Chain A
Amino acid sequence: MLKAYDYAEPVKNKIEIKDSVLFQREKQIAQNFVISNPIKYECHSCPICGSEHTKFIFERWDINYRYCDICKSIFVPVEQETLKKYLELKEIKELKTSKEYQKQASERRNSIWNDLVLWAEYRIFRYLGRNTELNIIDFGNKYEGFIDLFCKSKLIGNYELRNSFLDLKTNHIEQADVILYLNQLQHENDPIYSLSKIRESLLKDGLLILNTRLGSGFDILTLKGGTQDIFPYEHIMLPSKKGLEIILDRAGFELLEITTPGTRDMDIVMKHKERIEDSNFFIKYLIDIADVSTIADFQQFLQKSGLSSFAQVVARKR
């Protein structure tokens, strides 16, 4: 299996990908919603592998996150109607479609998006043998800046945005050469069903490009409840690498590659180092003594070994 990592010289004062004020507001809206819409039932089986061997791993706002002993994924069992209500929440929609939110995202994520487009052009060519004039359906994208950049790339013949709260008029595509499913898995309570539905909109041998946070990633497992940017119901599904493989297989995809090119695990852990459990002597020691290049090397090791908490996937419709 392909392993991949990115490398840049370590820099001081990295720009955060989220504006802290807007992010706090987003979390506050989510928290208010969670408090007024508590989970009504307790279901402990893993929505990915079906195992009953799951256990409590951390809680956020009185919501319990569970860890599957078999496929190592992390999840919150939420009712579909509650989830739907959250995803359609007016305050969230207003915040995320606001000019300020979109502007901040564009400024902070521009180079990440450029890299993503370049990567997509490469990987699509690698597996389809062409990377121009394609029919592409983009599920759930919420960033106007990315869509603008992506639509200017040579990849696009026709582009359709689906399931997004952005009010953009795009062409309807019956079946696509490529489907983008970026940062969507995190709020799916039945990912296998969702991906098998999405699969119907893909041509035979068409490609699914997916990215997601991974529950098996370094910062999530090290900080557990201390991970401040993981919260319900925005993040209720954090598959492990193995969990992701199961999801794709059961949804009818042939996995072509999973890479974990995430660059922020060490930054997140260092930012919240006081939340590292006392028993985690090694990581605490590493954070204390490591210099900039050691941290960069460690992050590179995480990327290469599939241990970063951000995954990129290319899969083919079977």
Chain B
Amino acid sequence: MKKVKTVIIGMGRMGKTRYEAMKRHGGYDVVGICDANTKNLAGYLEPIFTDWKECIEKCDIDAVIVCTYNIVIPDIVCYAIKKGYAVFSEKPPGRNLSDALRMKKAYLNSPNKILKFGFNHRYHNSVIEAKALLDSKILGDIVCARGVYGKAGTLSFQNEWRNNKTISGGGIMLDQGIHMLDLMYYFMGRFTNIQSSVDQLVWKDMPTEDSAFSILRTQDGKVASLHSSAIQWKHKFSLDLICTEGFISLNGLLTSTMSYGEERLTYYCKDLECKTGGLGKPVEHTLCFDSDESWDYEMKEFYDAIENEKPVIQGTIEHAVNLMEMLEGIYK
């Protein structure tokens, strides 16, 4: 397998996660790692850097993985892509729409058209199954959705970098709710009409929101409600997809901490004649998953784009810009 020479900028939790996924893949040769905090670089045998520009300049590379704070994502992405490197960046694609558009401009002018953003939820098994179920059309067409993505919060929640608006650009909606918005966009299409209530309901002193309710509509009339919450006081992931001939529910999500519960997909067919069960009790089918390969699938797609000339399917720049545009609608 041909090796893709890669550097990782940002070796916090996500940088380490990507590092492990690249090692498992076997097609990446990590030739440098970079983090402004040297503690994050301890224990690695690869050349280490504290300045991202120096890391990109001094290493002989094919690709750059960006796992930094949101504020520096556009600078690194634009710099690397201008240099002709393939770039993979963590979500969100910057702090706002303007950041995303800046990266799009750099992408369009770049000699190497490989830019992918990490939206790993699309690669979770329950999501892959839900997409197949929807596309198979056995439940008809999706018409509406309800999603809740909630966090427990932490003792120092309001002091985390994610809630420093200058660095992050937004609160729970941008940090975590973006995944739910992305899934709804994936299943239903682009939302063009957005109503929302973005609030600080409990963490009053925080510069960012702790709750965002949104009602979203697509051009063709599909409707979704989304609640992104940092005041759920436990971890929760729940997404209902209502179709013309049935229903799908995604509950729980496999993560390293297992704190979102078992990842399950339940579906049933509309059964107005009560053929499968009693009135209001159609037979439900549930699929459960005991492994999360989302990081591996994502790194494989990026590798295949570089070495096998396959197109980036998920997390394209177009997709990133559309999401940030919808997020801007929610924040308005």
B290 touches A122 (CB 8 A): no
CA distance A122 to B277 in the complex (A): 21
A304 interface contact, C-beta 8 A: yes
Number of A-B contacts (CB under 8 A): 61
- Please give the distance in Å from A254's CB to the nearest CB on chain B: 16
CA distance A2 to B288 in the complex (A): 6
- B interface residue count range (under 10 / 10 to 19 / 20 to 34 / 35 or more): 20 to 34
* Inter-chain contacts of B275 with A (CB < 8 A): 111, 114
B288 touches A4 (CB 8 A): yes
* A126 and B136 in contact, given A8-B276, A9-B277, A111-B276 (Cβ under 8 angstroms): yes
Residue among A1, A6, A121, A131 making CB contact with B285, cutoff 8 Å: A6
A119-142 with Cβ < 8 A to chain B:
119, 121-122, 125-126, 131
A8 touches B290 (CB 8 A): no
B278-315 with Cβ < 8 A to chain A:
278, 281, 283-291
* Inter-chain contacts of B138 with A (CB < 8 A): 118, 121-122, 125
B132 interface contact, C-beta 8 A: yes
26 A-B pairs within 8 Å (CB atoms) are namely A1-B290, A2-B288, A3-B287, A3-B290, A4-B288, A6-B284, A7-B283, A7-B285, A7-B286, A8-B281, A8-B283, A9-B278, A11-B277, A11-B278, A114-B275, A115-B283, A118-B138, A118-B269, A122-B136, A122-B138, A125-B135, A125-B136, A125-B138, A131-B136, A304-B286, A304-B288
A1-60 with Cβ < 8 A to chain B:
1-9, 11
User: A1-B291, A6-B286 provided; 4 other pairs, C-beta below 8 A?
Assistant: A6-B284, A7-B286, A114-B275, A125-B135
* Inter-chain contacts of B283 with A (CB < 8 A): 6-8, 115
* Inter-chain contacts of A125 with B (CB < 8 A): 132, 135-136, 138
- Please give the distance in Å from A309's CB to the nearest CB on chain B: 19
CA distance A115 to B278 in the complex (A): 16
CA distance A199 to B154 in the complex (A): 55
What residues of chain B have their CB less than 8 Å away from a CB belonging to chain A?
125, 129, 132-133, 135-136, 138, 269, 275-278, 281, 283-291
B132 touches A4 (CB 8 A): no
CA distance A114 to B286 in the complex (A): 17
- Please give the distance in Å from A11's CB to the nearest CB on chain B: 8
A4 touches B285 (CB 8 A): yes
B287 touches A4 (CB 8 A): yes
CA distance A115 to B125 in the complex (A): 22
A9 touches B133 (CB 8 A): no
Q: Write the chain A residue with the least CB distance to B128.
A: A126
* A121 and B276 in contact, given A4-B285, A5-B286 (Cβ under 8 angstroms): no
CA distance A2 to B286 in the complex (A): 10
- Please give the distance in Å from B128's CB to the nearest CB on chain A: 8
B287 touches A2 (CB 8 A): yes
Q: Write the chain B residue with the least CB distance to A7.
A: B284
CA distance A114 to B138 in the complex (A): 12
- Please give the distance in Å from A24's CB to the nearest CB on chain B: 29
